[in-house]
Amino acid sequence: MYYGNKKAIIQGEATFEPLIFYAWSVSFTHWESPYENIPITEDEKKEIIDYIVLHSQNQKVKVVFE
């Protein structure tokens, strides 16, 4: 997931019946290199989660955050 010019990796688990990716909101706390020393703020995390959930609703794989 890119946020501006920063990248975050979000971990989770996929199920096939139903086809859902359960993303772990606690799995992304810092940006990837070269911004790995910058924490992701709660506001940024909420914006990222809201964006992903909204845009996955009409896709083959839904994303749900836990």
Return the domain boundaries, the chain.
2-65
Asked whether residue 1 carries a pLDDT value surpassing 80, the answer given is no
Opening angle at CA 27, ends 37 and 3, nearest 5: 60
Would you state the structure tokens that stand for residue 1, as one six-digit string?
């997931």
**60 neighbors 19 (Cβ within 8 angstroms):** yes
Strand partners, 55: none
pLDDT band at 2 (very low <50, low <70, confident <90, very high): confident
Which tops the pLDDT comparison, 26 or 2? Answer: 26
pLDDT tens column, 14-62: 999 999 999 999 999 999 999 999 999 999 999 999 999 999 998 999 9
- pLDDT given for residue 3 in this prediction: 86
